[in-house]
Each structure stands twice: as structure tokens, then as C-alpha cells.
Amino acid sequence: MAVQFPKHLKPIEPQGKALLQQERDKATFNSDSLKKYIYGNDYLEIRERILQILLADPLLSDKSHRYYNGRDIRFQKSLAAAKRLVELARIHKWNEEEVGMAEYLFDEPSAFRLHRSMFMPTIANQGTEEQKKLYLEPALKHEIIGCYAQTELGHGSNVRGLETTATYHLETQTFIINSPTLTSSKWWIGGLGVAANHAIVMARLITRGKDYGPHPFVVQIRNLENHEPLAGVVVGDIGPKFGFNTVDNGFILFDHMHVPHVALLARYSSVDKITGEYITPPNSKLAYGTMVYVRANIVLESRVVLARAATVAIRYSAVRSQGSDAANPKKLTNPDGTIKVVETPVLDYTMQQYRLFPIIAQAYACHFTGQEMHRMYHENQQKMSEGDFSYLADLHASSSGLKSLTTTLAVSAIEDCRRACGGHGYSLFSGLGQFYQDYLPKATWEGDNYLLTQQTTRYLLKTMRSVQSGKTKDKNATFSIEYISEYLANPQAKSHFTTVADLSNPEALLSAFKFRAAFLIEKAVYAIDIEQTSWNDMLVEIYRISRAHCQLVMVSNFLAAVFNNNKPVDATLCQALQRVAILFCLSTLEQETSDFLTSGYIVPAQALMIKQHFISVLKSIRPDVVALVDAFGFPDYLLNSALGENEGDVYEKMTAMAEKEPLNQSVVAEGYQNYIRPLIHGGKANWKFDNDGIARL
Amino acid sequence: MAVQFPKHLKPIEPQGKALLQQERDKATFNSDSLKKYIYGNDYLEIRERILQILLADPLLSDKSHRYYNGRDIRFQKSLAAAKRLVELARIHKWNEEEVGMAEYLFDEPSAFRLHRSMFMPTIANQGTEEQKKLYLEPALKHEIIGCYAQTELGHGSNVRGLETTATYHLETQTFIINSPTLTSSKWWIGGLGVAANHAIVMARLITRGKDYGPHPFVVQIRNLENHEPLAGVVVGDIGPKFGFNTVDNGFILFDHMHVPHVALLARYSSVDKITGEYITPPNSKLAYGTMVYVRANIVLESRVVLARAATVAIRYSAVRSQGSDAANPKKLTNPDGTIKVVETPVLDYTMQQYRLFPIIAQAYACHFTGQEMHRMYHENQQKMSEGDFSYLADLHASSSGLKSLTTTLAVSAIEDCRRACGGHGYSLFSGLGQFYQDYLPKATWEGDNYLLTQQTTRYLLKTMRSVQSGKTKDKNATFSIEYISEYLANPQAKSHFTTVADLSNPEALLSAFKFRAAFLIEKAVYAIDIEQTSWNDMLVEIYRISRAHCQLVMVSNFLAAVFNNNKPVDATLCQALQRVAILFCLSTLEQETSDFLTSGYIVPAQALMIKQHFISVLKSIRPDVVALVDAFGFPDYLLNSALGENEGDVYEKMTAMAEKEPLNQSVVAEGYQNYIRPLIHGGKANWKFDNDGIARL
């Protein structure tokens, strides 16, 4: 007999549903309008259409097993789902965007993920026409399944340290792929552990005795008939991880394995088949353009990660009532019209607002920044096609730092939101635990979040030197040049924060962020060029500079979007977003106060004013917070969270999910007979039992 | 056939073992001496003795299953281990400390944990002699197994909001335990889901129509003969959690269940059996003394949590080499005496030092603070026994904030260390993933880390008012009175940081922390008393004040221990610890710069000096970092980490652990036939195979 909750019991009044409705009624704007403004109708149409297909599919509609099962079962179920998604894509003739939407809504990384996101794009970008026919065509039909094998056991972020070699062997016209050491084992390769039969292997290309560094080779690794590893290959799964356990991250070692000449992806660089001569790639900056595109998407993804975490925590905080705020007690109207005092929703406590509201603001900041990155990407692609590369360096530098900053924000936000849910945040039913665990790697891949900042700052230091030396003629050529020039024109500038009203002035706020970033850059150039501080000793500062620059970019994009010409037409919407923008500026300012003080741009009295005023800015968006997360419109199917779903029936969901716990499928759980009874009945002689088994003591 | 790594391959040179040995050779002091200094010989003897018993036990010696299995298997294995630990305790006649050590080393929370840590102590402290005989004696023999049921589905931290009632029924001389709503279900109760047959239930005591608030009742919940729930009880497991999944956190609902009059733990308050009259407890402050003791232990536990996380990250960072620091390349002497340049261990990168070294310092700060708390606890107990309660309030207030601060630091440290291990930190083999997940609840239980700070700050505000108004006569009565008085005597004081040498002056550092804490307290009193700011609007500031006060306490304890009279005798040891103490002060100062600037105590130029000097302070302990973590002497058995174990054979461990992954027990993993083959062979007609299964493309 399974454990069941008594069906007649209801949660204490007021009910979550009523509380959420109160919040929705309070909002100053229409959250549906905001939803359309954020996503556009096309996106919403696709999301709804794909959602309905998934909900109707017996294999994909039920996510309930995810929280109860270990890796063994989850991995098998995930493989089954991945196969089903491939079939659905065929049936419905989904395009890239639709497949991506299905994966997003299904929300579980799978063994085939890297096949689609890395294996095929790499061949498409770096393969010749012959290679595309050979590898890409069967890959599109899933007749071969691939992965992307770069990272090694001993080398992650430093690609130049890779040990795997691919030595061209003239006699056989083959490359010999070899793993010379244990540390040269490819490691962390998604899809490799179980699923893939092909891999793009990054190996040091050696020909005619010379090492040309890492190059990509398409290597068949498993027998296509029976999936056994080919001769010379040792391959397997790297084992359990903190998250991502539905993916078979794998390892592979090669023992002098010969692969054909065609294996080297040869669109840019190649080896002459007959002579073995290395043919140098044309110097191309085009790849950097693509990186900007990928990173713009990561920023837009950060947006929905932040918003999703906030959705759960905000809705639950509207429902969860705890204690009473003496100065502002929560009152409820009884059906008979009388008023009674009830407990205060935790959303009314300033500390909770302080922890959560900035995350909502960050989500919107990422939204507007990601959109602007996309716009600039297209503008830059256009320029590059006309031979104008003047935007590229600035765009690429900012995109590196923004990837780092926004994914760092998103990682923190999930965990902060989980903790802000109190005890229940620790239940997997919150939906935030596995979400955190699966999202985390974003801070490491596509560029480690610390290393990336070196690219950003190196560019900014160069820009500072160029402006300082007068080499830069056009002071408005790029945003970086512009704000660095402004700073150099007046390095003793002071803030305009005289009254609290100034703290809501977009111009004044933007100026502060510009000054602070430029100040840090100037100080670093001085330390390196004049004081001869080593790059290594500057790493902490380098990280800070990238962060300061990217916070400025986000502030600038957000303010421009809601205060300038293209601001939303709907006035209530516009005003609400303006408050959120100001909140974003002030929460960032408050968090980074020491930089602003250290630069001399603000004085202690202003810092105190900011700190105090920030509390009232939190209050200014309090009526809108549920509507602000509602506007992201995450389907309950995606959230999979007892605490955060749309209806607010938190406690009914928690108990319903607890009923499904495998240990509850019998009122006396497995383990009792073997491990508990022997202890209790060890001194059995002492016990006498009533008829109903109650001990007489 | 299982997947196996080629046995002839070794990791790239230099080997981890050699790198760690270099680090150990570099240390300026003897890590064994430091180990004895930290723990004392008694502790080390017990640790070693218990360790050997566990290592020799077939059931307890192998922890390898922990990383591969889901909750189902882990829970059963954990129950088996818990039973075995009970047996070992009987066999070896372990005392409390020895049982605690075994649990610490085994390092996995179990279903019996709360029986020992909450059920029995509560009866011991709050039960009458009759109740101890009735409940405690069988509990000690594990004839009954108990848990502590306080938290409810709808109410966590706010005990006054509990809904469960215990109404005294004169006719039957029983209490009727009842759960009126779904939200009144007890929830999160460790040991309840599967194991316990008794519970201490916190329920609102109602007698003669009056509600006296929550009181503890000992309630039998399951049949002792067959473990079935008793009539009127619905009980089960609350389901999967982010961590702690070897514990059966449970829920329970009571439907008007009668329990005997003796169930109410009656040492302090009771109900007259005949009249039903409530007998008020004597006002006792003694319980606060116990809380100080519990919290001192939590601080000492934070110490080993911080140190353990740091041990893994520091050792791995000494082994993991990546890229090269151009200004300071790492050189290795070949066997033939020649020198070669190798990659730089990441421990040499300033950013890595910035991320990790402060954590080592925090571990030592917690060590000295925990020790001082123990000393003060005993001093206070002595005073209270003489009727002197003058220390209690100060001690209790600080202990609340210190619990909050040190567990918050420890939680962050595990995750920071995990991330500082790069990609491999994400593997469960790092030992840091499950460690983080299992340690996390410490930030919520024994007082939520945010709520607790209100206790600390409320006391500090009261102290400030008392000193300001002249009511406090003895300016040295407590540490808080002392530093608040110093501040009020000179609220315009400025720091003594003129040169970098001043930044290593213990007096100057201590003064800075005193000033900053007192400044924040004074500002808050002004805001509340004069500006009439509500308590709710002050919550963020209240949290900051508690943190500032407790950082000061830690700084003060650490500096006193290594600079004052009782400092270590061994000079090299003493100097090494002094550097660590300075690092602790400066890293805290650097992190909280904005407070120091805002208070006017330091000026921007000094903030810049601190920031720059901090980088050189990191370097000052660089030679000692491996020895500093070695001194904690964590057995490999405890660490269970491929990255952090003593020998440094990181890559051999990673591959050995990967071989045990269940998916690797066959070279073609489960799932291929059902989910991969059908896709690949969907278009089978296109394929032709070589003899060896290589596709002809």
C-alpha cells in the first residue's frame, strides 16, 4: 500500500492561488503586452506550437522521473527521448529553430546534443565540399553520430597544450592519430561515452617532421555494424558529474590509429596528399564574427536562465507567508467583508527583495544587451562583407566579457534563488537544484569565465593606449573609444548625485559607469606600462576591468532601450521597464560601491545615500514583480517546479510529488527488515505490545 | 568486456607526486607540528584509531559506490552502514566523541543521525527523570529510534506559526495531536521518512481552552512489531533533495491521535494531569548557554569544511599545469641535471591565489574563533553557576552571527574551490560536488543564516544605545562595549595606514575592523531611533552589521592567538600563522572596502594601496599553502577525491574511478540497441562495411 496524503486537508488560508492573483491585480502594466514585446509574436507562436507537440507525446510529456532516479535510469530515458526528438523533427519537418525550441522546452541535455551543436557545424564551417558530402550528409540523417573531442585529461582551456598527435604518413597517405600519455586522453567529450561513432578530434598536426599545432580531424571511432570500438581505440564514459548526467561525457585514447587523408578538415589549412606539405590557412577574421553570434545567444540564454530562476523564487515568495511585519501587517478580507491579519508573504521583507529583485533586473538587462549584440553582429557582418573590419575587435572583446559576466550572473542567480526559497529550495521539487547543476558548465565552456576576461581587458588597455597617444582620431569610432576619450578629457570628474532624484537620472548613472570603467583601465595601463607590474600580478584587476566594462555595456543598452527613441509605445510598460532599468543601475552601483569610491567619483556621503535610496527603489518595483516574471511566460512544463508554477498551488504540488517518491510506494519502506528491525528487536525481550502494536513502556 | 585504460601510459611529466613534493619541500615550517598544534594529540590519536577500524571494516571501508549510484541504492547502503556503525560502537564501547569521529570520517548523513543528535539530547535536556527512563534508556539501546519533528510544510523558521495542535483531553488524560491543514504536515524531519518509530513532535499545547504555543511531545508513530504507521498517522518520505539523499527526511500528519499525559516533556513546563492546569516554566537562561556550545562546534566544523575544500583545490592546483607565465616560467631539473621549462602550475597564477588563499585563511580564523568560543562558553558556564549572567547576552549574540558568517563562508568555499578546479571540479570524482550538496543545509538549520543576524544586531544596537546614554558604566565589561566605547570616544578617527608596512600591523588592522563595525551600528541606531526607519527597511543593514561585528570577532581572535602571549612556541610556525592572519585581515578588508571607505576611516588612495598590497600578501604565503592544508591532515578516506588526495596522482585516480562507471562495464553500453542502432541503421541501405566494420563512405 502506497503512502497517501489525506485528501480532505487544504493548506492554511490564504491560498497560494489567491495570493498570486492579488499580485497580478496589483501590477501597473499588462504582462501579456510585455511578453509580446520581449519575444515577438513569431517566437511565441513557435514556442506554443512545439509545446503542444511535446505535451501530447507520451514519451516526452512526463518529466516526473527526473527528480527520483539515478543516472542509470535517467540516462536510458534521456536516450529514448533524444531518439524521439529526432523522429519528431522528421515528422514535423522542424527547422533549426524549431528543433532548438523543442530541446529548450524538454530541458534535458542529451547524448546527441553535441552532434547537432558542434559536430555538424564544425564540418559545415571547416570542411571542404567533398568532406561535407562525406560526413555532413549522413550526419544530418543521423546515420553517423558525432562528437567534438578537444579537451584532454591534462589540458582544458589551454588548447596549445594538447598532447594528441596526428602525424602524416606519406607511404600510406594516412594520418596516424596517437595518444602518447595518460593525460592526452580526450576527456569531457559530450556524446562520446556511449553514443557517438564519429568524433572530430583536435590533434597536433605533424607533417614532414614539423608540428603545426592543433587541427580538426574527422575520425570514425566505433564500428557502424555493432558499435564496438575500432582497433586502436579505447573509449568510454568519464563517470558521474555534478550535473549533466543524462549526457555521456566520454574519454578516448588512440594507439597509432591510421585515418585517411580526407579526415583533416581542409577548408582552411590542409596537407598535400603526395608531398605532405602543409598548406597555410588564409588569415581569416570571419570566425570571430561567428563567435559574436554564439555569444549573443549565450547572453540571451542567460536572460531566460535568470528569469526562470526568478520566476520560481518570486512566485513562491508571494505564496510563502512567515511571521508578520509589525509596521505593515498583511490584511485579508474575509468573505463576510471583515478584515483579518494574516502572516506576511516573504516577498514583503526587504531582505528578500534585496536578494531577488536585482535578478529580475539582470534578466531584462541581458535581454536588451543580447538584442543589441545581435543587431551589432548583423551590422558588423555587413561591414565585413564590404571589407570593413573596424567594428570587429571591439565587438569581439565586449562579447567575450559579456559571455563571462552574464553566465556568471546566471549561475549565481539560480543558486541565490534556490536559497531564497528557504528549506523547500533544497527539495528537488523546487526545480532549481538540477537546473543549477545542469547550467553550471556554461561558466566553463565556450571560454572559461576567468580566462575570457583577459581578451576583453587586453583590448581595452590597447584602446586606452591608442587614445592616450593620440593615435585614435575618431573619438566616436566605437563605444570604448568614446567613453575612454570622455574620461581622459576630464579625469577628475565628479558624480552628479546631489539629491536622490539624481539617482534616477539615466545620464548621471551612465556617466558614473563610464567613469569607473575608464578609471580602472587607465590605472591598469599605468601599472603595466609605467610601474612594470607583470600581467600575472594584474590578473585580478584584469578580471575587474572586464566586469566593469561589461556592466557599463549592459547599463548603456538597457537605458538606451527604455529611455531613448525606440522605447516601448505602451506608456505603463515603458515606465515599468524604466524602473527596472534604474534598479539594475543602482543594484550594480551598490554592489560595486568600492570601485566608485576608490576612483574618487563619488564621496562617502553619496555612497550612503545610494545604499539608503536603493531600498526605496526596491519598493518601487514591488507591485510589478510577479507580472515582470510572468511576462517571460515560462510554461509549467519547462519549470517543472512545485514552488514556481503558474497557479501557485505550492503545497498541493509538494505533497503530490512526495507521493511519487519510490520509498513511499509501501508504508513500510525497503530497508526496514534488514537494517532497522534487527536493531530494535535486538533487545526484544524488553518489549510488550498492545493489540495495535503500541509498546507498553 | 569492461572498458580499461592502457596500463602502459603515464601522465605527462612532471608527475603530480613530484610537484606536491616540491611544494612540501618549500614550506617554511613543519606541517606535522602545525597539525599537533591545531588538533592536540588526543584528537589525533582518536582520529587515527577510529580511521583504522573503519578502513578494516568491509562494509564501511569502501565509499566508491557513492558517486555512481542513485538515491535508491545509496539509501539502502547508508542504512546498512548506519546499522554497522551502531554495532561497532557497541563492540568498541565508543563514547560520544568516538561515535562522532566515526560519523565524521564516514562522512555520510544517515537515517539515524537525528536520533543521536536531536531526539536523545532533547529528552535528556527537557524530560523528567521518569521520561528519561521511559524514552532515553531504550533510545540509547536503539530499541526505539526517534526523530525531531518541528518544521512544517508551511512553516520553517517561524516557530510561532506552527499549526499542529496538542489539546489536553481531561476525560482520558491524553493529549490529542492533530494536523488541521495540509500545511501543518511536519516536513523535512530527518529519520522520519523510513526509520523512526518515535518522534518528538513540536505542537501548540492547548489546555482548558488556552493556547500556550509550541511544546515538545514524545509520540510513538510506528508499530514496534511491524513498523506500520499507527492509526491516525500518515507518514512518509518527502522525496529527493539537492543533497542529503541518504537521509529519509520525512513528513507526518496526525488525525486526532491520543497520546498519554507523559508524552509532554515536562522538565520545564507541564500540565496538571487532573486539572489540566498549565504549569509555567521557570525562566531559565541556561538553554542559551547550550546554544553557544552548539554554535562553537558549528564554527569548528566550518573550519574543517573550509580546510577540506581548500585541501582539494590547493593540491590539485599544484599538480594541474596550464600554459606558462612568461615573466616567471616554471623550470624542472632533468635527471641529467639540465633544466627544462614546463607548464606553470595554476597555483602560480595570481587569480587562482586570489580565489583560494583567503579560504585557507578563513579556515584558520574559524579554528581560533571556535577555540575562543569554547573557552568563553566554559567561563560563562562557570559564571552562570555562580549566578552571574553578565557574559551571556554578548556571548549568545556573537555566537548567532558567527554561526551565520562561518557557515556562509564554508558553503561558498566549497563551491568556489570546486569551480577553481576547472572542468574536473565538475566531476563527482573531485569530491567537492556531493560535499557541497550535503553541507548546504547548515546554512538553514540551527537558525537560518539571515534571520540569525537579527539577533546579533538587535543586541549590538541595544549595546550602542546603552553606551551612548551613559547607562553602561564598565567600558571593558564585554568586547562589544569596549569597541563601541572606543568609537564613541573618537568617531572621526582615521586609519593608520600610511605605508604598506602599516597593513601588516595587527593593531592597525584590528582598529580598522572595530571602527567599521561601530560606525555601522551607530548609523543604524540613528536611522531607527531618529529617522524612524522601520525594522523591515533596515534588514539589509542589519545583516551587514552582524557580518561586520563577526568579522571583527574573527580578526580579533586570530590576531590575539598568533601575535599575543599565548602564541605558538615554534618560531617558524608562529611566523607562518602570522602571515596567514594578516592575509585573513587584508582579504576581508579588501572584500569589504566599500564599508571602510564609506565610513571615512580610509581614503581612496589607501583603498588602492590595500588592493595592490593584497596581491603581495598572497605571494607571502605561496610557499606554505600546501603545508597549510596538509596540516589539517585529512585522511584520503575522508576526502574521497581524485583531485585532492595526499599523493597527488590525480590522473591515475581519475581514470581508475572512470573505469568503475557502470556504463563502462561493457564496451558497447546499454541503450545502443534500443535507441542508437535504430537511428543509424534507419537508412542502412546506404552503408557498406569493411571487414572491420569501418564504413566505406
Per-residue model confidence as pLDDT tens digits over B431-462: 999 999 999 988 776 667 888 899 999 999 99
User: Considering only CB atoms, which chain A residues are within 8 Å of B541?
Assistant: 611
Average pLDDT taken over every residue of chain B = 94
- State the pLDDT at residue A155: 84
Backbone angles phi, psi at A439, to 5 degrees: -80, -30
User: Considering only CB atoms, which chain B residues are within 8 Å of A433?
Assistant: 241-242
Query: Which residue of A12, A240, A540 is in closest CB contact with B68?
Result: A240
- State the pLDDT at residue A324: 82
Q: How far from B655 is each of A179, B10, B12, B643, CA to CA, in Å?
A: 15, 11, 14, 11
Grid cell locating B610: 590595500
Q: Using one digit for the tens of pLDDT, what is the confidence trace for B271-313? A: 999 999 999 877 666 667 778 888 889 999 999 999 999 999 9
Q: Are B103 and B94 in contact (CB under 8 A)?
A: no
In 3-state terms, what secondary structure has residue A646? Answer: coil
- State the pLDDT at residue A289: 75
- State the pLDDT at residue A326: 78
- State the pLDDT at residue A84: 97
Interchain proximity B687–A188, CB inside 8 Å: no
Q: Which helix (H) or strand (E) holds B25?
A: helix B16-26
* pLDDT higher than threshold 50 for residue A499: yes
Q: Using one digit for the tens of pLDDT, what is the confidence trace for B30-80? A: 999 999 999 999 999 999 999 999 999 999 999 988 999 999 999 999 999
Interchain proximity B138–A80, CB inside 8 Å: no
Ranges of CATH 1.20.140.10 domains, chain A:
288-630
Q: Pairing mode, if any, of strands A688-689 and A339-342?
A: unpaired
How many other CB atoms sit within 10 Å of the CB of residue B241? 23
* pLDDT higher than threshold 70 for residue B590: yes
In this structure, what DSSP letter does residue A229 have?
B
Q: How far from A479 is each of A186, A387, A517, A556, A662, CA to CA, in Å?
A: 41, 21, 12, 10, 57
Which of A189, A418, A676, A681 best probes binding to B when mutated, by most B CB atoms within 10 angstroms? A676
Q: Which residue of B has its CA nearest to A695?
A: B224
Secondary structure string (H, E, C) spanning A118-143: HHHHHHHHHCCHHHHHHHHHHHHCCC
How close is the nearest chain B Cα to the Cα of A73, in Å? 9
Percent of chain B predicted with pLDDT > 90: 85
* pLDDT higher than threshold 60 for residue A95: yes
Q: Pairing mode, if any, of strands A165-169 and A198-207?
A: parallel
How many other CB atoms sit within 10 Å of the CB of residue B175? 28
The reply to whether omega before A260 is within 30° of 0 (cis) is no
Which CATH code is given to the segment(s) A144-284?
A: 2.40.110.10
Grid cell locating B267: 522538565
Query: Which residue of B12, B419, B652 is in closest CB contact with A163?
Result: B12
Ranges of CATH 2.40.110.10 domains, chain B:
117-284
Which of B69, B224, B653 best probes binding to A when mutated, by most A CB atoms within 10 angstroms? B224
- State the Cα–Cα distance between residues A585 and A166, nearest whole angstrom: 51
- State the pLDDT at residue A325: 80
Q: Which residue of A has its CA nearest to B163?
A: A12
Interchain proximity A235–B3, CB inside 8 Å: yes
- State the Cα–Cα distance between residues A414 and A426, nearest whole angstrom: 12
Which CATH code is given to the segment(s) B117-284?
A: 2.40.110.10
Which of B675, B677, B687, B690 best probes binding to A when mutated, by most A CB atoms within 10 angstroms? B675
* pLDDT higher than threshold 80 for residue A287: no
User: What are the catalytic residues of B?
Assistant: 446
- State the pLDDT at residue B689: 57
- State the pLDDT at residue B697: 46
Interchain proximity A680–B143, CB inside 8 Å: yes
* pLDDT higher than threshold 90 for residue A283: no
- State the Cα–Cα distance between residues B354 and B615, nearest whole angstrom: 8
Query: Which residue of B11, B354, B677 is in closest CB contact with A181?
Result: B11
* pLDDT higher than threshold 60 for residue A97: yes
How close is the nearest chain B Cα to the Cα of A615, in Å? 7
Q: Which residue of A has its CA nearest to B68?
A: A240
Catalytic position from the list A103, A163, A301, A446: A446
* pLDDT higher than threshold 70 for residue B552: yes
- State the pLDDT at residue A685: 46
Overall average pLDDT of the B306-335 stretch: 90
Q: Find the helix packing angle between B479-489 and B539-563, rounded to 10°.
A: 100
From the annotation, which residues of A make up the binding site for FAD? 151, 190
Query: Which residue of A142, A224, A674 is in closest CB contact with B689?
Result: A224
User: Taking the mean position of all CA atoms in its chain, how far away is CA A33?
Assistant: 26
* pLDDT higher than threshold 90 for residue B694: no
Grid cell locating B115: 536520533
Overall average pLDDT of the B125-147 stretch: 95
Ranges of CATH 2.40.110.10 domains, chain A:
144-284
**Does the predicted TM-score (pTM) go above 0.90?**
yes
Overall average pLDDT of the B464-490 stretch: 94
Question: Which superfamily does CATH assign the domain made up of A288-630 to?
Answer: Butyryl-CoA Dehydrogenase, subunit A, domain 3 (1.20.140.10)
Strand partners for A342: A330
- State the pLDDT at residue A92: 98
Q: Which residue type is seen at A269? A: S
* pLDDT higher than threshold 90 for residue B684: no
How close is the nearest chain B Cα to the Cα of A388, in Å? 34
Q: Using one digit for the tens of pLDDT, what is the confidence trace for A513-545? A: 999 999 999 999 999 999 999 999 999 999 999
Chain pair A-B, CB pairs under 8 angstroms: 475
- State the pLDDT at residue A697: 46
